[in-house]
């Protein structure tokens, strides 16, 4: 009940900042604030965290918690998946972004009476994910939701899963259309790219050098956003004064991301902005810039809880503002869509509709790659005016 009250407060707090609609979604999420520009004038208190999902051994899934009928009805619209097992495969262990995703996924599945199996590979590699997925196939789970480390390399393994009758979707970072039934996308690619390149333009004063500090070179979501940034820059003369000097890769590892940020400062003395479209990279770069009292400014995609001390409009802070969505809500959407797939409410076809509990109704749209996608909503700007309200939320 406490979580329900918090959700209502969050929804009310952000209603004033909603922009009309978001591609493919019929509803705004409760905690993930809407479009990139306006800041919430009031934010809700910190949400009560869902219990952390523990990874189950391959032969035995983690037990589902008992959920009351009222809670299940509020969370799912009455969908019941008792006796069903749902797996979530994240990119790697130790990433705070995916810890929040696991919490959201677990809350929905267990709230509907289902069982959750959590897989957190030891490294952000394709091979590590393949090993985990193969164990899930052997275990005979009903559904797999994966945040992919590579768009194409998981195809054979995920096809094997689907051939075995397992419902497969992806979230956060997609696999190709032949490897999935649908994709839960955190925001439209163009919308993210637009927000990031406009931030670079703003923080650079309209001209100068900037660099991108990304995750892995194969990360499908980061690569898509970077390509969108480049395309927007090339197509509009207002960005003509910007020069992208390098795309560096920290592999979503804190130390490597730190090393890459330091290398960018050394290699490009005229650098004005670093854009890091990854939560691990932006946190590492923020510390480097702030510790060194660098004049280089930072933007990108980050967790408010990790970035609060670096967000500020003065020279003492490295990041004037950044963007993100709610990873918990994104994984909740993946859980709801998994339930709809397992229950036969959707097939993954464009035009399918389902209800994601109190998040509202969603429609599967064309993902532009031959497959369908479900868009959570556009990115939200975190800045000095609202970061204190959000840092305890996630």
- Those residues whose C-beta lies under 8 Å from the C-beta of residue 375, and which sit 6 or more positions away, are 22, 23, 24, 25, 185, 186, 187, 188, 365
Residue-wise pLDDT for 103-124, tens only, equals 999 999 999 999 999 999 999 9
Do β-strands 85-89 and 143-146 pair in parallel, antiparallel, or remain unpaired? Answer: parallel
| Residue where one domain finishes, among candidates 284, 300, 324 | 324
Predicted local distance difference test score (pLDDT) of residue 29? 32
User: Two tokens at 295?
Assistant: 């004049």
Q: Are residues 77 and 33 in the same domain?
A: yes
Q: Are residues 361 and 377 in the same domain?
A: yes
The residue with tokens 């004049």 is 295
- Those residues whose C-beta lies under 8 Å from the C-beta of residue 193, and which sit 6 or more positions away, are 224, 225, 226, 227, 228, 229, 231, 232
Q: Are residues 358 and 234 in the same domain?
A: no
Predicted local distance difference test score (pLDDT) of residue 14? 37
CA distance 218 to 226: 12
Q: Are residues 195 and 170 in the same domain?
A: no
Q: Are residues 156 and 266 in the same domain?
A: no
What domain range includes position 96?
A: 2-185+326-390
Quote the pTM value.
0.71
Task: Give the Cα-Cα-Cα angle 214, 306, 274 (nearest 5 degrees).
Answer: 35
What are the backbone angles phi and psi of residue 68, rounded to the nearest 5°? -70, 155
Residue-wise pLDDT for 13-68, tens only, equals 333 333 333 333 333 333 333 333 333 333 333 333 333 333 333 333 343 333 33
**Taking all residues of the chain, what is their mean pLDDT, rounded to a whole number?**
85
Q: Are residues 249 and 313 in the same domain?
A: yes
| Residue where one domain finishes, among candidates 324, 356, 375 | 324
Domain count, the chain: 2
Q: Are residues 20 and 70 in the same domain?
A: yes
Residue-wise pLDDT for 174-202, tens only, equals 999 999 999 999 999 999 999 999 999 99
CATH number at residue 361: 3.40.50.2300
132 has a pLDDT exceeding 60: yes
| Residue where one domain finishes, among candidates 306, 324, 342 | 324
Q: Are residues 386 and 270 in the same domain?
A: no
Q: Are residues 14 and 163 in the same domain?
A: yes
CA distance 383 to 394: 15
366 has a pLDDT exceeding 90: yes
Q: Are residues 117 and 239 in the same domain?
A: no
Q: Are residues 67 and 170 in the same domain?
A: yes
Q: Are residues 380 and 355 in the same domain?
A: yes
User: Does residue 229 come out as left (phi exceeding 0), alpha (psi in the -120 to 50 range) or beta?
Assistant: alpha
Residue-wise pLDDT for 241-276, tens only, equals 999 999 999 999 999 999 999 999 999 999 999 999
């Amino acid at each position: 009940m406490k979580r329900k009250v918090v959700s209502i407060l969050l929804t009310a707090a952000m209603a004033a900042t909603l922009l009309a609609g978001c591609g493919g979604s019929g509803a705004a999420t409760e905690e993930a604030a809407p479009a990139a520009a306006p800041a919430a004038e009031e934010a809700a208190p910190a949400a009560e965290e869902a219990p952390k999902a523990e990874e189950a051994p391959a032969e035995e899934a983690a037990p589902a918690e008992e959920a009351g009928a009222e809670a299940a009805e509020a969370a799912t619209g009455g969908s019941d998946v008792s006796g069903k097992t749902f797996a979530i495969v994240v990119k790697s262990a130790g990433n705070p972004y995916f810890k929040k995703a696991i919490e959201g996924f677990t809350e929905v599945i267990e709230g509907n009476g289902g069982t959750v199996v959590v897989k957190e590979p030891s490294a952000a590699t394709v091979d590590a994910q393949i090993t985990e997925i193969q164990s899930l196939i052997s275990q005979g789970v009903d559904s797999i939701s994966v945040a992919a480390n590579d768009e194409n390399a998981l195809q054979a393994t995920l096809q094997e899963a689907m051939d075995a009758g397992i419902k497969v979707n992806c979230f956060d970072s997609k696999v190709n259309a032949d490897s999935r039934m649908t994709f839960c996308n955190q925001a439209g690619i163009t919308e993210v790219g637009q927000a990031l390149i406009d931030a670079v333009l703003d923080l650079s004063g309209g001209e100068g050098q900037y660099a991108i500090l990304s995750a892995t070179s194969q990360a499908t979501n980061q690569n898509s956003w970077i390509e969108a940034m480049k395309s927007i820059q090339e197509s509009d003369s207002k960005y003509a004064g910007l020069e992208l000097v390098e795309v560096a890769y920290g592999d979503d590892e804190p130390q490597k991301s730190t090393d890459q940020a330091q290398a960018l400062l050394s290699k490009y003395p005229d650098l004005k902005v670093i854009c890091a479209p990854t939560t691990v990279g932006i946190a590492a770069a923020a510390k480097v810039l702030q510790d060194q009292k660098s004049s280089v400014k930072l933007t990108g995609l980050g967790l408010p809880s990790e970035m609060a001390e670096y967000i500020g409009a003065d020279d003492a802070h490295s990041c004037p503002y950044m963007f993100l969505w709610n990873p918990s809500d994104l994984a909740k959407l993946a859980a709801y869509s998994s339930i709809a797939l397992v229950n036969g409410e959707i097939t993954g076809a464009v035009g399918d509709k389902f209800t994601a509990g109190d998040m509202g109704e969603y429609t599967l749209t064309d993902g532009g790659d031959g497959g369908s996608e479900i868009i959570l909503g556009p990115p939200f700007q975190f800045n000095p005016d609202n970061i204190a309200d959000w840092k305890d939320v996630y």
